[in-house]
């Protein structure tokens, strides 16, 4: 049975990890998200996650926090789409950051639809990377 939690160990907290993600990571795009991701050696968890909403697009913190909450919920519910067991056996950690690039607030259903598409695409990318 899939666990639908998002624990503290699954969050990106390290500035070093974030810097590495932006310098060496790869990107995916599906409106309203840009996704930065990177496979690294095991860091205690099979995946680490963060959500970002730029202040440039949403001046009010209330709006930014609301969108981040929706992104975290969509990720939490659809996390089982990722090949977490595969990453565990490979001894890898997937570091993922979802950056909201939309200009307006959108419904949760649209965020979840984009999230599912990106997580499936990410799954395919990870599996292809391991084959090479």
Spell out the per-residue pLDDT of the chain, length 132, in tens: 566 778 888 899 889 999 999 999 999 999 999 999 999 987 678 899 999 999 999 999 999 999 999 999 999 999 999 988 888 888 899 999 999 999 999 999 999 999 999 999 999 988 887 666
Rounded to whole angstroms, the Cα distance separating 17 from 96 reads 10
pLDDT of amino acid 43: 66
pLDDT of amino acid 111: 97
Cis-peptide into 32, omega within 30 deg: yes
pLDDT of amino acid 88: 85
Query: Is residue 2, in this structure, part of any structural domain at all?
Result: no
pTM here is 0.90
Query: Is residue 26, in this structure, part of any structural domain at all?
Result: yes
pLDDT of amino acid 23: 96
**83 by DSSP, 3-state: which?**
coil
Query: Is residue 131, in this structure, part of any structural domain at all?
Result: no
Q: 41, 93 in Cβ contact below 8 A?
A: yes
Q: Which residues contact 75 (CB under 8 A, 6 or more apart)?
A: 6, 49, 51, 98, 115, 119
pLDDT of amino acid 5: 78
Query: Which CATH number is 88's domain given?
Result: 3.30.230.10
Rounded to whole angstroms, the Cα distance separating 38 from 117 reads 18
Domain count, the chain: 1
pLDDT of amino acid 51: 96
Query: Is residue 47, in this structure, part of any structural domain at all?
Result: yes
User: How far apart, in Å, are the Cα atoms of 39 and each of 23, 42, 65, 89, 102?
Assistant: 13, 9, 27, 13, 26
Query: Is residue 3, in this structure, part of any structural domain at all?
Result: no
Query: Is residue 17, in this structure, part of any structural domain at all?
Result: yes
Query: Is residue 126, in this structure, part of any structural domain at all?
Result: no
Q: In terms of residue numbers, what domain contains 36?
A: 9-121
Beta bridge partners, 41, equal: 92
User: Among candidates 82, 96, 84, 76, which has minimal Cα distance to 36?
Assistant: 96
Rounded to whole angstroms, the Cα distance separating 108 from 114 reads 10
Strands 33-41 and 47-52: unpaired
């Amino acid at each position: 049975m899939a666990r639908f939690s998002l624990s503290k160990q699954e969050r990106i907290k390290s500035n070093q990890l974030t810097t590495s993600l932006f310098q060496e990571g790869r990107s995916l795009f599906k409106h309203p998200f840009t996704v930065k991701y990177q496979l690294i050696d095991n860091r205690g968890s099979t995946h680490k996650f963060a959500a970002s909403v730029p202040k440039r697009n949403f001046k009010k913190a209330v709006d930014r926090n609301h969108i981040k909450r929706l992104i975290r919920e969509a990720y939490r519910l659809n996390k089982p789409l990722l090949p977490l067991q595969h990453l565990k056996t490979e001894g890898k950690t997937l570091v993922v950051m979802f950056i909201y690039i939309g200009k307006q607030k959108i419904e949760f259903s649209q965020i979840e639809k984009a999230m599912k598409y990106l997580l499936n695409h990410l799954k395919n990318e990870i599996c292809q990377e391991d084959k090479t």
